Structure 1
């Protein structure tokens, strides 16, 4: 007999488990009814159709998330002033606590952030949750002494978006945790190095190298030699779908429609959905790694040419693609090396582009990484606004943070 007393709290844990295992797209009524030992009719009676159900789940998860941050507020009730180093250590501890003790909820939040760029209505549902988090970061950074010249709450809010999804995938790796610790500290100490003998720059190089030594279980083929001509013409459409709509959107029907081929032709070359995802992710990773390396000397113009559109990835696409890889790595262990490589390379392009303006060696790769994570987080955070506004938001964020560097180096 179907239960008649269902509450959102009754279905939150099974729903978060489904998202963690298969992504937000897997959150449908029938599988959820099976997991909660109820019926589809009981779910719809209590929570409505799928969008209504998602709204209830977001509201319930948001309430639990607020309780988590309220716990940190209580810890800090008697703390009125924090130095930049103390603030960095505290932020690092909060991020670690979030992904270690509340992994499912943090993953649900990250899935929603990704979906807000392409799934109508999710951005509106997510907005109160984002406002809650920004309010907490504002309460926290209000204790920074001396106060920053810019709104560090806004910066940290964006930074945490990108860092959280990588932490979800990579938290078990000591090299990643150290890289995060060093990056967060630069975020609060003015970005630039304290001097040519600064130990954090040396530590950064150590853990940067170590994070790049993970065995590549995914086996990225950088030359795409294994693809025949027909497959090569299709994989670009798969990767574009992942970038624009996330991995859960990759189906034979969706890819066939984008590529303009018969579903039977697509199934001949890529038999399963796993084959499609693997090909698309491999294409993204190959292109991203090539773009990171292939910068010309003329101010950072990217030389990589795409198979389908004959243009380089935009900054929006790079941000969404790397976010998608990290999100997928939380449930596909074979992608951990790829996600780690993308995280450690944060800021490489930016360092090459900005070093003409900041030739001082104190503007080092670690400074560029702190800038880059904040900017990419802003792009993903602004995803629902569209390419133009998201790019503008990220540019404004970079310009504001670059202003701090100019002051530090002057």
Structure 2
């Protein structure tokens, strides 16, 4: 017979879960920056005082959300394992389908957005969210369990988990786009293909055609921003880049840039009238730094923590603000474009010969880089990563 204490504990747990799920729903609608005790209280239909009493302050609420996400990811994983009913996905030839479906799964959308937002927060302040590492582990454990009977399954699971970390925000943003879905499918095939097998020329060309078609809408705007290399406008762009690196895309405004650059806000608005103009300028400044680092073989893989975070922030921001969509798409393309020769050398293949695999490895490195940043670690320098790839690329993950 259930005791009164047990019933009270169950009601408390149920009430707390309802608050946490309301908080997760707010994050899915507004992003983590839009979540406060007040917005959660409104969504949950409770008072702010009730949340404070049950959970604590906003920081405690975010920590509790991480715990809730770990539970939810584990539950999703168990459900999927049950659906497979013991079928070995590699032997059955369905692993690429499972990866794409995992990224697209409708009932995972809220969880996926929340996970991406938590990862970004932890990448900037690892000590504030140490449990995000366990959230990443829960995702990898699913793939490990799925591939438990597959030779080399643990290494493949780590590679898939790392790739999914990087691909997830783009799937949230672009899953309705046919070119994107085809491109993602090509990338997944490149990720899983046998090491000794090269993509044929037509496949590689098809992959790049999809890349260009997907990125075409952003070309004109970004080409215009890329031409800014000197003068006051370029100086402001460098300050914009510093703000993005330190505070994230969400912090960008004329006032913030004016304060950072000790320049009048009216001057900022003259050079960069809209928030989108500000973002493009900052991104180009970051990419100029990235290219310089790559040329000097001293940057971080590939492009450093700032590029990893910026890419994910842009994709997530575009979910709520479509003006950022072309830019987020172009970010996905240019990360690989800037390092594809180095990655190809690391894989021991001719440049331009296997773009699907290079794209996949870049994304897996990016995902692993975000995971390392969230754990308070530094992604491998570019030169070291290429050497590691050449020796045994699985060790990078």
TM range (shorter): 0.7 to 0.9
**Matches of 1:128 and 1:393 in 2, distance apart?**
25
Moved more, 330-339 or 76-85: 76-85
Aligned to 2:4: none
SS at structure 2 position matched to 1:48: coil
Q: 1:3-402 to 2 correspondence within 5 Å? A: 7-80=15-88, 82-83=90-91, 85-97=93-105, 100-119=106-125, 121-144=127-150, 147-148=151-152, 151-190=155-194, 194=198, 196-197=200-201, 199-214=202-217, 221-223=224-226, 229=232, 232-250=234-252, 255=257, 258-259=260-261, 261=262, 265-266=264-265, 269-270=268-269, 277-287=275-285, 301=295, 314-355=303-344, 358-360=348-350, 363-386=353-376, 389-392=377-380, 401-402=389-390
Question: CA separation in 2, counterparts of 1:130 and 1:47?
Answer: 23
CA contact (8 A) 2:41 2:47 kept: yes
Output the CA distance in 2 between the equivalents of 1:371 and 1:64.
Answer: 28
Tell me the TM-score normalised to structure 2 length: 0.80
Tell me the secondary structure at the aligned position of residue 320 of structure 2: coil
Q: Identify the residue that residue 6 of structure 2 maps to in structure 1.
A: none
Label 1:398 to 1:44 Cα distance change in 2 as closer, same or farther (>3 A): farther
**Residue 280 of structure 1: CA displacement?**
4.1
Equivalent residue, structure 2, for 1:310: none
Partner deviation per Cα, 1:290-332 (whole Å, 9 max, x = no partner):
678x68xxx95169xxxxxxxxx94332222222222222212
- Equivalent-residue separation in structure 1 for 2:199 and 2:46 (angstroms): 63
- How far apart, in 1, do the equivalents of 2:162 and 2:45 lie? 39
Q: CA shift at 1:175, angstroms?
A: 0.9
2:90 alignment partner, SS class: coil
Q: Which runs of 5+ in 1 are unaligned?
A: 304-312
Give how far 1:289 is off.
6.1
Q: Does the CA contact (< 8 Å) of 1:191 and 1:370 recur in 2?
A: no
Deviations 1:179-232 (CA, angstroms, capped at 9, x unpaired): 1111111111135654545x532431331222123367977742566x983x65
* Deviation, structure 1 residue 247: 2.7
Query: Given that residues 158 and 378 in structure 1 are in contact (C-alpha distance below 8 angstroms), is that contact kept between their aligned partners in structure 2?
Result: yes
Normalising by structure 1, what TM-score?
0.78
Q: Is the 8 A contact 2:23 2:40 kept in 1?
A: yes
Unaligned runs of 5+ in 2: 1-10
Aligned-partner Cα distance in 2 for 1:249–1:27 = 15
In the TM superposition, residue 276 of structure 1 has moved relative to its aligned partner by 7.6
Is this contact kept in 1: 2:215–2:333, CA < 8 A?
A: yes
**Cα distance in 2 for residues equivalent to 1:324 and 1:391:** 18
